[in-house]
A = this chain, B = another copy of it.
């Protein structure tokens, strides 16, 4: 896991300098333009950023999508045309931005994170999505082209639900809703992993298992780091002081806020569960150690004294010099007595272990 987005290349630079701070996730910047009102729907993949400029003055709702952030020239044109503050543009380009909301005179600026969960590595992939909400259009900056918003586009196209009758603010809400719903998807995947580990724990007590638990723990730390500012952001939207959102959209935002809280609650529960898994793992290790030691102790405790006994009668004291020297060797039933003694000692120890409940 890349623990930290490199920042060092920027130290000492003028704030507001246009440098794309992130990995280039696709080759060429792509542009989409969706334009609709209650009666009309149009979706075009455009070549030049200038084709998006007329949206500014149309009455219909427009949704301009920019995939890829590394073409500085295009960014500058957008900045000029749509009157975007230099600091806003800098935040869009710096993909290590914290989720936040900023109110400007002409528009509302929202930075938010889309989260994907990589099932293989149990790590999060984070994509920064920047929304600029004007009165009747939205510009949406993504790091790469994805398909998360396709169902939403379908919905608009097919005129399902209330979305075609409503303004750009409702579109912004719908976009945020898709993003927050994606957090549920991530939680589902993490939940599956927790259950899988939970079931496999006793079967497979390897270091690799501890590693998987620790990876999940880190992923949850990472997730949580993104959730608190998200919560703050959406909470701010539900309060009245934010313009650009009609009061009829506020109940939907409140619903969104409820979802965010639910995501946070579940994340916190998962964190506790994962730390419980780690405890269980440690306990299982201890139990297994106990098991191992018990086997060793039982075997050693029984056979070490018996070996001593056998050792005694293997000694070569001279039986002929005196009858004090190892007279047992000359007994008629000496060997049988020896075995009797072996059985007595062995049986006694087994009884002792049984009473201690070791076997």
Residues of A within 8 A of B (CB): 3-4, 6-8, 10-17, 85, 87, 90-91, 96-98, 100, 102, 148-152, 154-155, 160-163, 174, 177-178, 181-182, 184-185, 187-188, 191, 194-195, 202, 206-207, 210-211, 214, 217-218, 221-222, 225, 251-252, 254-255, 258, 261-262, 265-266, 268-270, 272-273, 276, 278-297, 299-301, 303-308, 310-319, 321-322, 324-326, 328-336, 338, 356, 358
Contacts of A335 in B (CB 8 A): 315, 317, 324-326
Task: Give the oligomeric copy count.
Answer: 5
Most B Cβ at <10 Å: residue of A12, A182, A291, A308: A12
- Most chain-B Cβ atoms within 10 A of its Cβ — which of A254, A266, A317, A321? A317
**Which B residues touch A318, using CB under 8 A?**
319, 329-330, 334
Residues of B within 8 A of A304 (CB): 299-300, 303-304, 307
> What would be 27 A-B contacts, judged by CB atoms less than 8 Å apart?
A4-B187, A6-B188, A11-B182, A12-B155, A14-B161, A15-B177, A91-B255, A100-B258, A202-B207, A210-B284, A214-B276, A282-B282, A283-B285, A285-B287, A285-B290, A289-B289, A296-B296, A296-B300, A300-B304, A307-B307, A310-B311, A313-B317, A314-B314, A316-B329, A318-B319, A325-B333, A325-B334
Closest to A283 in B: B210
Please indicate the chain B residues that have their CB under 8 angstroms from the CB of A14 in the complex.
155, 160-163
Beta-carbon contact of A333 and B322 below 8 Å: yes
Give A284 to B45 CA distance when docked, in angstroms: 54
Q: Is the interface of A mostly helix, strand, loop or mixed?
A: helix
Flag if A188 contacts B311 (CB, 8 Å). no
Q: Is the CB of A273 within 8 A of B221?
A: yes
